[in-house]
């Protein structure tokens, strides 16, 4: 089955710096890659996503890139702010008569 690896597990940056989180997936049939942000005690919430026919997507300070050949995708946060501190999960999914979304282990981001 699908396996999603996420790095780093912890990331600490100074306010205003950029943060990059990287994920790799194993199933070449996966075609949808969402990113979720989870604050302490709250639900995971979608912050950005990318589909397999797109190489890059940007939404204000957040961008995601996808390299299908290498099976890599990354989250980029620019001009980080204290409210960006949270756990970020990447995920990969494909449609198989009921979508199976598999999450990476998570990255705990601290913005100092």
Partner 1 sequence: DTEVTQTPKHLVMGMTNKKSLKCEQHMGHRAMYWYKQKAKKPPELMFVYSYEKLSINESVPSRFSPECPNSSLLNLHLHALQPEDSALYLCASSQEFWGQFSGNTIYFGEGSWLTVV
Find the part of the chain contacting partner 1 (CB under 8 A) among 11-19, 43-51, 56-64, 72-80.
43-51
Q: For residues 80-99, which are near partner 1 according to CB under 8 A?
A: 89, 93, 95, 97-99
Q: How far is the CB of 15 from partner 1 (least distance, A)?
A: 24
**Residue with Cβ nearer partner 1 (16 or 95):** 95
Count residues near partner 1 (CB under 8 A).
Answer: 25
Distance between CA atoms of residues 61 and 43, nearest Å: 22
- Give the Å distances, CA to CA, from 84 to 21, 69, 78: 13, 30, 10
Contact 105, 21 (CB under 8 A): no
Q: How far is the CB of 88 from partner 1 (least distance, A)?
A: 10
Task: For the CB of residue 97, give the shortest distance to partner 1 in the complex, in Å.
Answer: 5
> Around Cβ 20, how many Cβ atoms within 10 Å?
16
From 14-22, 26-34, 55-63, 69-77, span contacting partner 1 (CB under 8 A): 26-34
Taking residue 29's Cβ as centre, other Cβ atoms within 10 Å add up to 11
Structure tokens belonging to residue 78: 């620019």
Residue 90's CB: how many other CB atoms inside 10 A?
27
Q: Which residues contribute to the site for partner 1 (CB under 8 A)? A: 31-32, 34, 42-46, 49, 51-53, 89, 93, 95, 97-106
């Amino acid at each position: 089955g699908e396996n999603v690896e996420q790095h780093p597990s912890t990331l600490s940056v100074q306010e205003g710096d950029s943060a990059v989180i990287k994920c790799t997936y194993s199933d070449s049939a996966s075609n949808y890659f969402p990113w979720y942000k989870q604050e302490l005690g709250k639900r995971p919430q979608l912050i950005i996503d990318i589909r397999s026919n797109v190489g890059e997507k940007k939404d204000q300070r957040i961008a995601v890139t996808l390299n299908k050949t290498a099976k890599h995708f990354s989250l980029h946060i620019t001009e980080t702010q204290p409210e960006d501190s949270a756990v970020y999960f990447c995920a990969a999914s494909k449609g198989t008569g009921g979508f199976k979304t598999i999450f990476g282990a998570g990255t705990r981001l601290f913005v100092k």
